[in-house]
């Protein structure tokens, strides 16, 4: 699709999964918000609502678009707990859920987060129930863009939600003049970088971390670090990925790199280097952290939810205390370890 779908090639997907490869599924709720009064989903402040989980990188890029474009007063949000349901829960395991009071984790420790709240729109416990209330029975993923007026689901494709935030919503955003996430003259280049970042870095990290076949892991590992080398080279002559201003391409790259040192390096076995060894990428992280609205979507609690989500559901469920200094060190452009 035009916005670069968050999905893998589905050819022989079942067989590839059986052979140990991680193959991401397809988002099926795919409507667009349009700048037309008679559209099914017109641009309108206060009408739309996001359901997200902070630990999910696909949710993160959508939240980045909302924050950087300045749409906090335009699109409301509810935040799910970073760990999904267990075997003993009424609707079964592996479902995103609301836990405003927290829960006892796999490691025996009660954990809660200030940002995790209850479903303020539909009053549901699980995201699957929000889908079912809107007439969709086969989906359970986030992010989810919801229409509060018609109680229907606009989209669950993160790439397209981010694209909408940076285009049709821009005219009613707080940062319309300063931020243009998808400028017309750069669209070809942005799309090209989006495709590369998705394959090598964003989904590539998952290929390394969740594939059970050594060969698939090793190929993903090599592609990931080759990708970082290429990005470091691009950023040696550009402030951002496409010139001097942040675009959608930068917002799509930020979530996996924000997670890299504290999470992916150990959890996904991507341990060839640390992010601080890439001088130009590290400087870029500092420039990204300085964008408007970034603190709300890149602070210490945000990172702690990421760690809880990735480590709190695997192995013995213990969540690492380190590395020390993250995410604050991302703000130091010329930091050395």
Which active-site residues does the annotation give?
56, 206
Measured CA to CA, the distance from residue 166 to residue 170 in angstroms comes to 6
Burial-class residue 190 by CB neighbours within 10 Å (0-12, 13-18, 19+).
buried
Encoded tokens for 153? 């689901």
* Residue whose structure tokens are 């709190």: 312
- How big is the CA angle at 121 (ends 119 and 126), to the nearest 5 degrees? 40
Closest CA to 204 of 148, 253, 146: 253
Closest CA to 253 of 267, 265, 240: 240
Measured CA to CA, the distance from residue 27 to residue 233 in angstroms comes to 33
Measured CA to CA, the distance from residue 199 to residue 6 in angstroms comes to 10
């Amino acid at each position: 699709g035009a916005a670069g779908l968050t999905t893998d090639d589905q050819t022989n997907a079942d067989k590839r999964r059986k052979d140990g490869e991680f193959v991401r599924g397809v988002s099926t709720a795919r409507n667009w918000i349009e700048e037309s009064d008679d559209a099914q989903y017109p641009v309108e402040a206060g009408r739309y609502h996001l359901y997200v989980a902070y630990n999910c990188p696909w949710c993160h890029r959508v939240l980045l678009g909302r924050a950087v474009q300045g749409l906090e007063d335009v699109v409301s949000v509810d935040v799910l707990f970073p760990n999904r349901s267990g075997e003993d829960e009424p609707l079964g395991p592996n479902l995103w859920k609301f836990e405003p009071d927290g829960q006892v984790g796999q490691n025996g420790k009660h954990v809660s987060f200030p940002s995790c709240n209850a479903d303020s729109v539909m009053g549901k416990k699980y995201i699957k129930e929000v889908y079912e209330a809107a007439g969709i029975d086969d989906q359970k993923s986030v992010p989810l863009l919801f229409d509060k007026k018609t109680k229907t689901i606009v989209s669950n494709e993160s790439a397209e939600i981010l694209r909408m935030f940076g285009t049709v919503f821009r005219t009613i955003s707080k940062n319309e003049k300063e931020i243009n996430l998808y400028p017309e003259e750069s669209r070809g280049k942005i799309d090209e970088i989006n495709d590369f970042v998705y394959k090598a870095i964003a989904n590539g990290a998952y290929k390394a971390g969740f594939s059970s076949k050594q060969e698939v892991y090793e190929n993903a590992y090599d592609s990931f670090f080759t990708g970082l080398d290429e990005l470091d080279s691009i950023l040696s002559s550009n402030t951002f990925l496409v010139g001097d201003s942040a675009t959608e391409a930068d917002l799509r790259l930020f979530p996996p790199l924000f997670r890299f040192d504290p999470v992916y390096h150990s959890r996904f076995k991507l341990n060839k280097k640390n992010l601080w060894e890439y001088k130009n990428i590290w400087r870029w992280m500092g420039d990204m952290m300085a964008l408007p609205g970034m603190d709300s979507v890149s602070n210490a609690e945000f990172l702690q939810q990421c760690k809880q989500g990735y480590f709190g559901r695997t192995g013995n469920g213990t969540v690492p205390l380190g590395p020390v200094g993250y995410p604050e060190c991302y703000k130091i452009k010329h930091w050395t370890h």
